[in-house]
Amino acid sequence: MNASALLQRQGWRGKGHTLHATDNSIGLTNPLLLSRNTDGSGIGANKQMTDQWWLAAFDEKLKGLDTSKKGVVVQSVTKGKLDAISSKGGKYSGLYLSFVRDTTPEQEVIPKKKESRAERRARKAAKIERRLARERERARKEELKRIKEAKKREGSGEAETKEERKARRAEARVRKEARRKRREGKAARKS
């Protein structure tokens, strides 16, 4: 596949030009450079990856076993690499020493910012306002439900009674007031 021929069919003007049809200031004129690993190194190529420490430690342990004529196996070498790991304090050697013990999230103490009286009053007033808004919204929904049920009972859902019109206009005023207060609250929080 010839990438330059494909790009020229799509409108590319050639080497040294961007992919933009008319303007060279938009886009990259040089190709993206890619780094390729051609030397064969990588995972498994390092000495640490090819070192079979476990095999050497196992062989060392086996060489330390002696069998008597009675068939009793006796351990003669007790200072091998596997013994260092299994001994008391052995897990705190080698690479394990480089780990740093840190606190858990439960132990971290997050300092609380001291709240002024004005901020506390504003926070409590906002909480009360949110509660009242929820109550107004709940009342509005109940009123709509009641009106809907009344229309179903009447049989004719086309004509709006005077009370329904008043209720609809009152709920529109409540919604408008709630929107205004939300906008004021957002503006107060931004400043």
DSSP count for the chain of H helices, then E strands? 6, 2
Tokens standing for residue 143: 């009123």
In this structure, are residues 81 and 72 in contact, taking their beta carbons and an 8 Å threshold?
Answer: no
- Using CB atoms within 10 A of its CB, is residue 144 exposed (0-12), middle (13-18) or buried (19+)? middle
In this structure, are residues 18 and 24 in contact, taking their beta carbons and an 8 Å threshold?
Answer: yes
For residue 76, give the 3-state DSSP assignment. Answer: coil
Closest to 77 in 3D by CA, of 67, 55, 62: 62
Closest to 151 in 3D by CA, of 163, 141, 139: 163
pTM, two decimal places: 0.27
Residue 173: the pLDDT is 94
Residue 133: the pLDDT is 94
Residue 3: the pLDDT is 85
User: Rounded to whole angstroms, how far apart are CA atoms 126 and 17?
Assistant: 59
In this structure, are residues 7 and 31 in contact, taking their beta carbons and an 8 Å threshold?
Answer: no
Sequential pLDDT tens for the chain (191 residues):
788 898 888 888 888 888 887 887 888 777 777 777 666 666 555 665 566 777 888 888 888 787 777 777 777 766 766 666 666 665 566 666 666 666 666 666 667 778 899 999 999 999 999 999 999 999 999 988 888 887 777 765 566 778 888 888 999 999 999 999 988 888 888 77
